[in-house]
Each structure stands twice: as structure tokens, then as C-alpha cells.
């Protein structure tokens, strides 16, 4: 299954991701190491309509933003 999400680990990556003003964004904050299949399905279904990002628990810098 295709996965169109962006993994965010740093504040710089988060700022770059949020700079696209013309499209809505969805963030998944998770402690899972792999992308959940339902999230992958959403990224495929709403590709080019929404932008999806994943922020893992170990990305403490990005979670503070």
C-alpha cells in the first residue's frame, strides 16, 4: 500500500511542512515505529487533497513546536 506521509523529526522539517499554505495538513503523533495501515490508506485516498505527516515519540524537538 502506498504511503504518502512525511516523517517529521526536527523543527525545521515541521516548519517546512507547514509552510504550504494552500493545502490542509494532518499530523499523526504516535509511538509506533511503522505507519499504521489505516493512515497509509488515508494518505493514498486523500493524496493531493491533504498533506499527511507523522511525528514519532522520539522526535521530542518536533513535538515541542
How many Å separate Cα 65 from the centre of its chain? 14
Query: Buried b vs exposed e over 24-44: b needs ≥16 C-beta within 10 Å?
Result: eeebbeeeeeebeeebbebbe
pTM: 0.81
Report the number of distinct structural domains present in the chain.
Answer: 1
Please report where in the chains the cell 522526535 appears, as a residue.
59
At 2-60, the pLDDT tens digits run: 899 999 988 888 889 989 888 999 999 999 989 999 999 999 999 989 999 999 887 66
User: For position 63, what pLDDT does the model report?
Assistant: 56
Rounded to whole angstroms, the Cα distance separating 11 from 40 reads 23
How many Å separate Cα 33 from the centre of its chain? 13
pLDDT at 65 > cutoff 70: no
Domain assignment of residue 17, yes or no: yes
Domain assignment of residue 25, yes or no: yes
Domain assignment of residue 1, yes or no: no
Its domain, for residue 10, covers 6-63
Domain assignment of residue 20, yes or no: yes
Domain assignment of residue 16, yes or no: yes
Amino acid at each position: 500500500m502506498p504511503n504518502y506521509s512525511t516523517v517529521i523529526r526536527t523543527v525545521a522539517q515541521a516548519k517546512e511542512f507547514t509552510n504550504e499554505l494552500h493545502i490542509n495538513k494532518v499530523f499523526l503523533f504516535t509511538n509506533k515505529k511503522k505507519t499504521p495501515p489505516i493512515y497509509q490508506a488515508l494518505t493514498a485516498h486523500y493524496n493531493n487533497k491533504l498533506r499527511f505527516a507523522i511525528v514519532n515519540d522520539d522526535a521530542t524537538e518536533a513535538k515541542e513546536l
